[in-house]
Amino acid sequence: MKKAITRLAGCLVFCTVLLAAIDGAAKPPNWVRVVEHAAWAPRDSCAETVFNGRMWLMGGWFTSDAPGPRDVWSSPDGANWTRATAEAPWKHGDLSTALVYDGRMWIMGGWYGGRKSFASASRAVWASGDGTHWTCETEAAPWKARLGAGGVVFHGKMWILGGLERYFYGTPSDLLNDVWCSADGRNWRQVTAHAAWAPRAYHGAVVFDNKIWIMGGGNYLPEYAGYNDVWNSPDGVHWTRVADHAPWASRIWFSNVVYRNRIWVLGGWSDKPWTNWHDVWFSADGKTWKELKTDMVWSKRHEQSFYVFADKIWVAGGNEWPIVNDVWQIDVPESWLREQP
């Protein structure tokens, strides 16, 4: 009798665990709002990195009628933010390119001055080991001044890809598709003057499967251009078009990360249709994409800050008009991803 009871109890435990696993696997992941109003003022177009166990947010855009902010903030959890400096020495903090390399955070390029007559793009390269003290490695990198460029760390070097020479006053000829790399931030080598992909800014750039990938992007003013193509390269010179038109809408000002051994595209803005986005897409090969549909998601927005941190994807701030300073995170289990058709 005791053996029968023990077996029955064991069976009940097994069934309970099995049902819980089935129930857990069936439930899709969801976004969680960590904080509605972070300590930093609402903004978009920031530089963002993950460095020394913290998420960092730097500079950005408040309005086109004045220069942007130059403050630097960091957080270990997305809820509690500490200001490292109120005014960093760099000034082109709008749509700059940020990387982590060789034990420091780096900011390069970017825009300053909004729509003012004195507005300019930058060729400067800055680095910091603590977010407070910054060193200008060069005021004049050999590449053209630019904003909205892609940036990656690949094969032991920093890379900058494409971008735009002038924000509000440019023409389509100011869009770039050159590729440069550097091992120290001062000395840069042009890998190619014209990559196979169309000149663009506000695109995504990641390293995945031992290749550099770029996707989407285009231009805002004076003429809108939006892409949803996907390209990769093993060396920055030879590029392969993986997808001519991904299933996500053509867009600029979106987020692009690598998470769970997949490429992710989040949010952004399109002119056709004229809209902000809050959709989320992922792909294991850059060609076949699936949409992550959740019950909760951050509001439609563009130029949000984004992170892969603490085994989660994070979205902070951005422009849904008005600009916001909320922080969201999501944990998407690998087991759930494998189950998707």
pLDDT in tens, the chain (341 residues): 444 444 444 444 344 434 444 444 457 799 999 999 999 999 999 999 999 999 999 999 999 999 999 999 999 999 999 999 999 999 999 999 999 999 999 999 999 999 998 999 999 999 999 999 999 999 999 999 999 999 999 999 999 999 999 987 677 889 999 999 999 999 999 999 999 999 999 999 999 999 999 999 999 988 899 999 999 999 999 999 999 999 999 999 999 999 999 999 999 999 988 999 999 999 999 999 999 999 999 999 999 999 999 999 999 999 998 999 999 999 999 999 999 87
pLDDT on residue 228: 98
Q: Hey, which residues does 254 pair with through a beta bridge? A: none
Three-class secondary structure of residue 85 per DSSP: strand
Q: In the structure encoding, which two tokens stand for residue 41, read together?
A: 């003022």
Thinking of the domain 33-339, which architecture would CATH place it in? 6 Propeller (2.120)
CA pair distance 48, 162, nearest whole angstrom? 19
CA pair distance 268, 59, nearest whole angstrom? 19
Q: What is the DSSP letter of 236?
A: S
Q: Render 102-168 in DSSP notation, one character per residue.
A: TTEEEEE--EESTTSTT-EEB--EEEESSSSSEEEEES--SSPPBBS-EEEEETTEEEEEEEES-SS
pTM for the whole thing? 0.91
Q: Side chain identity at 269, as an amino acid letter?
A: W
pLDDT on residue 318: 98
Contact 46, 81 (CB under 8 A): no
Q: In the structure encoding, which two tokens stand for residue 134, read together?
A: 């910054």
pLDDT on residue 167: 84
pLDDT on residue 223: 87
pLDDT on residue 168: 76
User: Which of 303, 298, 305 shows the shortest CA–CA distance to 34?
Assistant: 298
pLDDT on residue 173: 87
Torsion on CA atoms 100, 55, 61, 121, rounded to nearest 10? 0
Q: Render 34-75 in DSSP notation, one character per residue.
A: EESS-SSPS-BS-EEEEETTEEEEE--BS-TTSPPP--EEEE
